[in-house]
Structure 1
Amino acid sequence: MGEETLPFIDVREITPRERHPKIFSMANGLAVGDSFVIINDHDPRPLHYQLQAEYPGQFSWTYLETGPEVWRVQLGRAEAA
């Protein structure tokens, strides 16, 4: 599946306190090998650190676009929980 057809979440349209819970909900719903794209107005590096800390080795993280206006990250399920 090409990145242009992946499901996505545009967190620029979501209240800040709801962003991480929604992303974690989508991430936890992924089957191994599946992914989605996160679209944001800043580098979501803190989210990456949180994922690594809480789910070590379970998710892949690939930058597709790195600003300065828009960041797009492909988040994928690398292995089962």
Structure 2
Amino acid sequence: MAATTLDLRDVPPPERHPKIHDAFESLESGEALELVNDHDPKPLFYEMQAEVDSFDAEGYEVEQRGPTEFVARLPKK
């Protein structure tokens, strides 16, 4: 599965979710958006699950790689 990576660690918090939604929208079916973040993006998971029909919640994965590095994979149906 192809993935687009978006590193959000230097993006101001108010700009993160719009940037994520824009990047996710541009994906093709079967692709995924990989996010690098400074915290666990669990609230984003719930937001995507509730608001984005093409979000594959069952395929969602998150890995903590360090105290301030989380990598989440948001697949698109």
> With structure 2 as the length reference, what TM-score do the two structures score?
0.82
User: How far apart, in 2, do the equivalents of 1:46 and 1:72 lie?
Assistant: 14
Aligned pairs, how many?
A: 73
User: How far apart, in 2, do the equivalents of 1:47 and 1:70 lie?
Assistant: 16
RMSD over equivalenced CA pairs, Å: 1.6
User: How far apart, in 2, do the equivalents of 1:14 and 1:68 lie?
Assistant: 18
Match of 1:59 in 2: 55
User: How far apart, in 2, do the equivalents of 1:30 and 1:44 lie?
Assistant: 19
Post-superposition offset of 1:69: 2.4
Long gaps (5+) in structure 1: none
2:9 aligned with 1:12: yes
Long gaps (5+) in structure 2: none
Post-superposition offset of 1:29: 1.0
Cα displacement string for residues 22-62 of structure 1 (whole angstroms, at most 9, x for unaligned residues): 00001111111011210001001111111011124x21321
Runs (4+) of structure 1 exceeding 6 A deviation are none
2:38 aligned with 1:41: yes
Tell me, what secondary structure is at the counterpart of 1:59? coil
Tell me, what secondary structure is at the counterpart of 2:18? helix
Match of 2:73 in 1: 74
Tell me, what secondary structure is at the counterpart of 2:68? coil
What percent identity do the matched residue pairs reach? 38
> With structure 1 as the length reference, what TM-score do the two structures score?
0.79
